[in-house]
Amino acid sequence: MSFIRKPNIAYKGQRTNALGLSMRDYEGGMSTLCAGCGHDSITSALVQAFFELDIEPHRVAKLSGIGCSSKTPAYFLSTAHGINTVHGRMPAVATGANAAARDLYYIGVSGDGDSLSIGLGQFAHAMRRNLHMLYLIENNGVYGLTKGQFSASADLGTKAKKGEVNEQPPIDPVKAALAFGGSFVARAFSGDKDQLLPLLKAGLKHKGFAMIDVLSPCVTFNDHEDSTKSYAHTRQFYHPAVHTDFIPPAEAITINYAEGDVVTVELHDGSKLVLCKVQPSYDPHDRAAALSYLEKSEAKGEIVTGLLYIDENRSTMHAVNNSAVKPLREIPYEDLNPGAAKLVELQSRYR
């Protein structure tokens, strides 16, 4: 995490967004991750996504657990609050923060160890509650920060740097998310920004729990030959099932898509997702079909990516709880306290 601040130098021709902010305003501290680490590419895509969505940086709350991946919130949006919680428990903190104030953008960044090993329970329950947040798993198949042990997402037969072979089946966060009630389930690759960027935007605008499993190679401990989470392996077996275009509310759809392969999804704020299916029969609203497609592709060794499932209308935690739209801390104390007279009245039942 960073104690090295980047100098904020304005340069000529710098692009600004609707808020008059430049990309630099969306950056964070200098990364202390290994050069070439997949996590850093995701960070740069995030910076761009927030910038292009014209989101005020301080209206974002960044959360993470523990791990190399969990350090990344320090590397974007330096004027947003961040909280680096404990290993595997970020979903609970996000739930409480969200309960207290539902008017911020919540983004959680986790790792495969953080979400699928130690934190599998909280990850599952956050989806079950359909917590309103964007949740990224920067998935490298290992515990980077503790130096390369297999995580729960390590594939069968994959080899560790020191030669050990993984004999246990992986937990696929995408399949897990489909099973646990995730309302926005996607997979991407840190090496393909074109695909990742619209997914991040869509996830930020989705009302509910948007889970993106981002394959993000660990160059230090899991990028060798015989590793199934290396850049080379991922590139080779990478298989986009759905391509997503994100269209902000005010903009019209201008691209001409081939007839029949396109599904348009309108989000709650009016933005549109144009899902262009590589596989014509694929239906991103059909959970059972998504699961079966994943199983079949997996058998062929394909790594399926894209926005694989969306239910834009599932009730969120707040809808279920009928909780106030206003942040709870802003509700005047007078409205929270019933007052002395009510206390007297109430106690008649205890006499």
Task: Give yes or no for residue 69 binding ligand TPP (CB under 6 A).
Answer: yes
Task: Give yes or no for residue 150 binding ligand SF4 (CB under 6 A).
Answer: no
Task: Give yes or no for residue 64 binding Mg ion (CB under 5 A).
Answer: no
CA 154 to chain centre: 20
b/e code 24-52 from CB counts within 10 Å (16+ = b): bbbbbbebebeeebbbbbbbbbbbbbbbb
Q: How far is the C-alpha of 140 from the C-alpha of 34, rounded, in Å?
A: 13
Task: Give yes or no for residue 97 binding another protein (CB under 8 A).
Answer: yes
Task: Give yes or no for residue 140 binding Mg ion (CB under 5 A).
Answer: yes
Q: Binder to another protein among 72, 78, 216, 305 (CB under 8 A)?
A: 78
Q: Binder to ligand TPP among 27, 40, 52, 112 (CB under 6 A)?
A: 112
Stretch 266-325 residues interacting with ligand TPP (CB under 6 A): none
End-to-end Cα spacing for the chain: 58
Which tokens in the block code for residue 309?
A: 């499932």
Task: Give yes or no for residue 66 binding ligand SF4 (CB under 6 A).
Answer: no
Q: From the list Mg ion, ligand TPP, another protein, none, pick the one residue 96 interacts with, judged by a Cβ distance below 5 to 8 Å according to partner type.
A: another protein
Instruction: Indicate the burial class of 168 (C-beta count within 10 angstroms; 0-12, 13-18, 19 or more).
Output: exposed
Q: From the list ligand SF4, another protein, Mg ion, none, pick the one residue 39 interacts with, judged by a Cβ distance below 5 to 8 Å according to partner type.
A: ligand SF4
Stretch 306-335 residues interacting with another protein (CB under 8 A): 317, 321-325, 327-329, 331, 333, 335
**DSSP 8-class letter at 146:** T
Which tokens in the block code for residue 7?
A: 């100098």
Q: Binder to ligand SF4 among 68, 107, 247, 304 (CB under 6 A)?
A: 68
Nearer to ligand SF4, 98 or 139 (CB): 139
Q: How far is the C-alpha of 153 from the C-alpha of 144, rounded, in Å?
A: 13
Stretch 208-267 residues interacting with ligand SF4 (CB under 6 A): 218-221
Shortest distance, position 302 Cβ to ligand TPP, whole Å? 23
Shortest distance, position 151 Cβ to Mg ion, whole Å? 5
Phi, psi of 226 (to 5 degrees): 75, 5
